[in-house]
Structure 1
């Protein structure tokens, strides 16, 4: 298994041109917890917008799918396909505090925008797909990212957190999960040939503790991040592999992203409300938080449709809704 040591005491700016960076995230607009909370929350998820969040625990911050463009900015999503951002992020890129690592589900500009790509410090650790790694590490001597780790489906790596002395230390296990932008069939075959839409991962992020004395990792909180996927057969392997272990939280990418444009919606490449409910039924997480639902004009399935579908399916008590700049607090169990 690949391993990386994160040292939260070594604070570095996320960007390469910004020395005076904040030490903390800004105060959340609203803090939410699980309806079943008994207190003792020691970790948080800060929602910035699109699929961009910051997971914070034990002094470490993990940034997911960084996109910090503003309303009116455009991204390129494939041959002849562009999209305009409709919203603003909760904070700007230069308001982001120290980041220890990035989880990048795929190499698409609405998840890794052009300003982010130009601005991030080149030594920041990035965990991503093999496809994205090839792009990020082949930009020339001064522009290539130098710490890029690729995970295929069900490949894992361990992020060791350098803290106190002792055999049992906090760690984060990251595992690549299946995901596909294109449904099975002729379109998928054509996309494999044309490479119009990039390969995409979901993630399983397990926060817990690694005991060096017995070389064993014990999970204290498990987060499944769907990534930009449709409801494809490969997803069925997730509950089979993790049967009996349970998913505490699912971050689900919604929006019913449809290309090539809102005026010509021919192909849906991320889940709409119907598939979102199907994924809740399949994964059966304790809680679900929807993200990636209204930030770009190619997202044609609004959050209101998902809320209605969730209520009709009887899952309203299992979904927490975050607005941009809200934080969800949760408890990582030490065991």
Structure 2
């Protein structure tokens, strides 16, 4: 399997000096820009700490805040609370079991959203209603179509960049320069099930992301975000283009639909597939996310922790509770 070519699809310039509130005041009279959230617990590289100048805060589900050089990137915003429900496909709903570590209307200014796919547990109705319409969003072509087309939205989003697999966007924000490349990902395995899904549109297309932060050295700091995917053959092409990854955020949970007690289809990695991905990508540090927030998650975090220990990888995995922060050096 040859390494695919990366195509530069967009150049974006972000204004980080005058970031406006992430929520629309007219949608919520109490909306306000909150201060930078105080992390519940700080964590650093397990074996090589020092010189930290960037942070990653785990909010919940697949929602994280990446901060570096005054730039704040939010991944897959999901701010529903315990007891709220999301729609995941025809006849499939899921109930949230946890609360995010910070309410939506208390977020600090957000400069960019990375949205892996258009699913309500990654971009819920509350978020879709209240995010300001000119907030830059990088996402899949499928999600971009829904976010920007008046057919679907009374007030469409206006700053959406669509990246298909292996397309990249170079982004400059004041003195922060980075590149986002869309990585392969699939909710369903290649074959008959994939063809059926495409025909009925039950599960949306999904991306992973490779985020490259360019510091003083020529070598970028690479963060691979798996997105909601299974361990499919397409992932094997990633190390060919990116032989070294500094940090990996892996979406786990073994999401099973329509429910764990009726396991007809698993659409995200369980613990076993997650450890396979760790071996494939071989990042310096792995942080598991997306594993216990909804009642459709079948594979608990402990299963992944046990496999990490069996593989002798405890010193290469950092576990964050909601509200915890990982500090690292670019």
Stretches of structure 2 that go unaligned for 5 or more consecutive residues are 1-7
Structure 1 residue 6: deviation in Å? 1.4
Matches within 5 A, 1:14-163: 14-17=22-25, 21-22=32-33, 24-139=35-150, 143-163=155-175
Secondary structure of the residue that 1:252 maps to in structure 2? strand
Matches within 5 A, 1:204-283: 204-209=210-215, 218-243=218-243, 246-283=244-281
Q: Which runs of 4+ in 1 moved over 4 A?
A: none
Secondary structure of the residue that 2:283 maps to in structure 1? coil
- After superposition, the C-alpha distances for 1:92-139 in whole angstroms (9 at most, x for unaligned) are 000101000000000000000010001100000000000000000013
Counterparts of 2:31 and 2:278, CA distance in 1 = 42
- Tell me if the contact between 1:129 and 1:152 (Cα under 8 Å) persists in the aligned partners: yes
2:199 matches 1:193: yes
Secondary structure of the residue that 1:69 maps to in structure 2? coil
Counterparts of 2:302 and 2:227, CA distance in 1 = 20
**CA separation of 1:94/1:222 partners in 2, compared to 1, >3 Å: closer, same or farther?**
same
TM-score, normalized by length of structure 1? 0.92
Structure 1 residue 186: deviation in Å? 1.0
- Tell me if the contact between 2:212 and 2:220 (Cα under 8 Å) persists in the aligned partners: yes
Counterparts of 1:191 and 1:111, CA distance in 2 = 19
- After superposition, the C-alpha distances for 1:178-211 in whole angstroms (9 at most, x for unaligned) are 000001221111001111000000000011159x
Counterparts of 1:218 and 1:110, CA distance in 2 = 37
Q: What is the root-mean-square deviation in Å for CA atoms of aligned residues?
A: 1.5
- Tell me if the contact between 1:13 and 1:99 (Cα under 8 Å) persists in the aligned partners: yes
Give the aligned length: 318
- Tell me if the contact between 1:231 and 1:271 (Cα under 8 Å) persists in the aligned partners: yes
TM-score, normalized by length of structure 2? 0.93
Q: Counterpart in 1 of 2:3?
A: none
Residue range with higher mean Cα deviation, 141-150 or 255-264: 141-150
Secondary structure of the residue that 1:256 maps to in structure 2? coil
Residue range with higher mean Cα deviation, 186-195 or 201-210: 201-210
- Tell me if the contact between 1:21 and 1:98 (Cα under 8 Å) persists in the aligned partners: no
Structure 1 residue 279: deviation in Å? 0.1
- Tell me if the contact between 2:83 and 2:95 (Cα under 8 Å) persists in the aligned partners: yes
Counterparts of 2:306 and 2:132, CA distance in 1 = 42
Q: Counterpart in 1 of 2:184?
A: 178
Structure 1 residue 50: deviation in Å? 0.1
Structure 1 residue 161: deviation in Å? 1.5
Stretches of structure 1 that go unaligned for 5 or more consecutive residues are 164-169, 211-216
Matches within 5 A, 1:311-330: 311-330=309-328
- Tell me if the contact between 1:206 and 1:219 (Cα under 8 Å) persists in the aligned partners: no
Counterparts of 1:22 and 1:257, CA distance in 2 = 33
Structure 1 residue 20: deviation in Å? 6.2
Secondary structure of the residue that 1:250 maps to in structure 2? strand
